[in-house]
Amino acid sequence: MALASDHADVSVRPAVPGDEIAITAIQLAAWRVAHTAVLGAAVLADLDGAGITARWAEAIGTPPASGYRVLVACDGPNVVGFSAIAPVPAPESAPLDPPGGELLALEVAPAEQRNGHGSRLLAAAIDLLREDGATHVQTWVLDGDVGRAQFLSSAGLAADDSLRTLDTGTAADSTRRSVSEHRWSAQI
């Protein structure tokens, strides 16, 4: 006799006002687990939770344009992960090329990882990008984030030759670091 799954009531839905609180908590917890070695504990400790919450509230309530979306993964009534997507217009050098999409964020609460929430979020994000006409997706991965690289690779994305360097503070900040991200992409 088969037993019901412990995860029978899992879903992905559009984020609604109020979800920004859970999204911020998940983002901060996930970043502390995945990025402390690269970004440093001091940088992560200095993140402004209230400011992050306000930015997520704005992204949910008043997205900057059509095609910007925030999704949440739920286990029952609990928000356990989130993703954010945005359109990527064709490049100026090839204005007739089809548009793409960018996965701006995808995080799952550390205690909820490896339960399929990330895969459901990614699949829902890709479906929405396709509905908007996107033919490819891209995202950026911080160097040293082996778990994210493995996840994206298993989903069919691969690193390309694009690299960007970001600074994690001001010039006067003693904890300032330069970090690199590689772009990952796939046709969808």
16-54 confidence digits (pLDDT tens) = 999 999 999 999 999 999 988 888 888 888 899 999 999
Q: How far apart are CA 12 and CA 79, in angstroms?
A: 9
Residue where the block lists tokens 């960018």: 102
Q: For 99, which DSSP code?
A: P
Residue 149's H or E segment, with its range, is helix 146-154
Q: Map out the domains of the chain as residue ranges.
A: 10-187
pLDDT band per the 50, 70, 90 thresholds, residue 118? very high
Residue where the block lists tokens 């970090």: 179
* Better-scored residue on pLDDT, 91 or 156: 156
Q: What are phi and psi of 142, to 5 degrees?
A: -65, 130
**Cβ contacts of residue 6 below 8 Å, gap of 6+?**
none
| pTM of the predicted model as reported, rounded to 2 decimal places | 0.88
How are the residues of the chain apportioned to helix, strand and coil, as percentages rounded to the nearest 5? 35, 30, 35
Is residue 7's pLDDT more than 80? no
Token pair belonging to 2: 């088969």
CB 165 within 8 A of CB 178: yes
What is the dotted CATH code of the domain comprising 10-187?
3.40.630.30
* Better-scored residue on pLDDT, 15 or 98: 15
